[in-house]
Chains A and B, each alone.
Chain A
Amino acid sequence: MMNTSINFLLAGVGGQGTILASDVLVNVGLAAGYQAKQAEVHGMSQRGGSVTSHVRWGKVVYSPIIGAGEVDVLLAFEQLEALRSLGTLRPGALAVVNAQVIKPLTVITGGQVYPGDEAVRQAFAKVTHQVEFVDGEQIAGSLGNLRAANIVLLGALSALLERGQAAGPGLTAEVWLKVITERVPAKHVELNRRAFQAGREALHK
Chain B
Amino acid sequence: MIKMLSGNEAVARGMWEASVGVASAYPGTPSTEILENYAISPNVYAEWAPNEKVAVDVAIGAAYAGRRGMAVMKHVGLNVAADSFMYASMTGLEAGLVIVTADDPAMHSSQNEQDNRTFAKFGRVPCLEPSDSQEAKDMVAAAFELSERFDTPVLLRLTTRICHSMSAVELGERVELPAEVKPFPRNPAKYVMVPGNAVKRHPVIEQRMKDVAAFAETFPFNRLEAGGRALGIVTCGVAYQYAKEIFPNASILRLGMTWPLPEKMIRKFAKSVKRLIVIEELDPFLEEAIRLMGIPCEGKSIFPITGEFDPRVVRESAVRAGLLPASASVPLPDLDPGPLPGRPPVLCPGCPHRPTFYILNKLKVPVNGDIGCYTLGLIPPLSAIHTCGCMGAGIGVAHGAAQAGSPERHVAVIGDSTFFHSGIPPLVNAVYNNSPIVTVILDNRVTGMTGHQENPGTGRTLLGKETVRIELEPLVRACGVKHVQTVPAYNVKAIEKALKEYVKLDEPSVLIVVEPCALLPEARKRWVPLEVLADQCNGCTLCFRIGCPAILKSEELDEKTQRPKALIDAGMCTGCEVCAQVCPRQAITFRPVKVEAGE
List A residues at the B interface (Cβ < 8 Å): 13-14, 23, 26-27, 30, 35-50, 61-70, 80-81, 83-84, 86-87, 89, 91, 103-110, 112-115, 119, 123, 126-127, 146
Contact = CB atoms under 8 A, between A and B. Distances in A.
A48 B333 CA distance: 28
B341 A106 contact: yes
Given A35-B168, A63-B241, A67-B313, A43 B449 contact: yes
B27 to A, nearest CB: 11
A47 B29 contact: no
Nearest to A146: B571
25 contacts: A13-B343, A36-B4, A37-B132, A47-B345, A47-B373, A48-B343, A48-B345, A49-B343, A49-B345, A63-B245, A63-B310, A64-B161, A65-B165, A65-B311, A67-B313, A67-B315, A68-B312, A83-B340, A87-B335, A105-B547, A107-B341, A108-B544, A108-B549, A108-B551, A126-B335
Interface string B320-362: 0000000000111111011111111111100000000000000
A126 B335 CA distance: 7
B155 to A, nearest CB: 22
B166 A37 contact: yes
A70 to B, nearest CB: 6
A49 B346 contact: yes
Interface string B481-519: 000000000000000000000000000000000000000
B164 interface: yes
A115 B337 contact: yes
Contact of A38 (B165, B312, B315): B165
Given A41-B164, A70-B312, A70-B330, A106 B345 contact: no
Given A37-B165, A47-B345, A115 B340 contact: yes
B553 interface: yes
Give the residue among B109, B313, B339, B343 with the most A Cβ atoms within 10 A.
B343
B96 to A, nearest CB: 29
Interface residues of B, number: 59
Contacts of B201: none
Contact of B549 (A35, A65, A89, A105): A105
Give the residue among B335, B338, B551 with the most A Cβ atoms within 10 A.
B335
B387 interface: no
Contacts of B347: 47
B208 interface: no
A49 B549 CA distance: 11
Contacts of B29: 42-44
B108 interface: yes
Contacts of B345: 14, 44-49
A6 to B, nearest CB: 15
Closest 5 CB pairs of A and B: A67-B312, A43-B109, A47-B345, A64-B165, A49-B345
Contacts of B315: 67
B312 A64 contact: no
A70 B29 CA distance: 28
A109 B380 contact: yes
B333 A64 contact: no
Give the residue among A26, A109, A112, A123 with the most B Cβ atoms within 10 A.
A109
Contacts of B241: 62-64
A87 B310 CA distance: 16
Nearest to A123: B337
Contacts of A123: 335, 337
B450 interface: yes
A30 B2 CA distance: 11
B160 interface: yes
B165 A39 contact: yes
Contacts of B346: 47-49, 105
Nearest to A103: B552
B244 interface: yes
Give the residue among A38, A44, A68 with the most B Cβ atoms within 10 A.
A44
A36 B168 CA distance: 8
B164 A39 contact: yes
Contacts of A43: 29-30, 108-109, 449-450
B164 A69 contact: no
A41 B313 contact: no
Contacts of B450: 43
B238 A80 contact: no
Contacts of A113: 341
Contacts of A50: 343
Interface string B375-409: 01001110000000000000000000000000000
B464 interface: no
Contacts of B338: 115
B311 A30 contact: no
A89 B381 CA distance: 34
A108 B109 CA distance: 25
A156 B345 CA distance: 29
Contacts of B168: 30, 35-36
